[in-house]
Amino acid sequence: LKWVKLTQNITGGLIGTVEQFGRLDIVINNAGINNEKNWEKTIEVNLVGTDIYSVLGLETQRSFYKARNILPHIYVVCYFVSSSLKPLLTTVVHFSVYSKAFPDASEQCDYGVRINALCPAFVDTQLLQTVENEETMGKFVKFKDEFKQRMDKYGVLKPSLIAEGMMRIITDETLNGAVMKITCSKGIHFHTYEPLSA
């Protein structure tokens, strides 16, 4: 029942945007929480919400706007970097989003929709502050010092650099299906796919 309500809420928001502005040009999904105590809520927001929002956003764009559009998937890759500090749950959640975005890009290329992922490392947001709280980290709060050491090692990005990367994705029409990675050591760069071996 809660998934039905979530779907209805997202659909209403997307359709309301089209009704008010006449079209839907860009859908950016930047949902993400850290709550190890309430892991069901984490899955609901980080995985189910992202999937529903992305699918409904694509359907809305198909239905209401026939020009070229963009459907970027954004998620925070720090869960991959810090997966040894947290349970498998967060890694699975974000890998699911990561692995879904790019087959979709190829399949939907005939619809005039670009699909991308922007994958920053640690970003200076409120999400990073949650690693210090037992309320959100649960039993994994004991790893907070190690987590901070990793932030010191890899650095913390300014949100303005993430915005710069997103604007590049939006304005460069050659980037369909591209995975943009942003780190302190390499700045804005792109993931290179290796050929599949037999």
Question: Domain coordinates of the chain in residue numbers?
Answer: 2-190
Of 126 and 105, which is predicted with more confidence?
A: 126
Q: pTM of the prediction?
A: 0.72
- For the segment(s) 2-190, the CATH number from 3.40.50.300, 3.40.50.920, 3.90.190.20, 3.40.50.720 is 3.40.50.720
Digit-coded pLDDT (tens) for 37-87: 887 887 777 777 777 777 777 777 666 555 445 554 433 332 233 333 444
Q: Whole-number mean pLDDT of the chain?
A: 72
Look at residue 84 in the predicted model and tell me its pLDDT: 36
With tokens 């993931």, the residue in question is 191
3-class secondary structure, 88? helix
Binned at pLDDT 50, 70 and 90, residue 111 comes out as low
Look at residue 184 in the predicted model and tell me its pLDDT: 94
Of residues 2, 8, 4, 52, the one with CA closest to residue 31: 52
Cα angle 72, 12, 96 (rounded to 5 degrees) comes to 35
Residues 6+ apart with CB under 8 A from 90: 34, 36, 42, 46, 79, 83
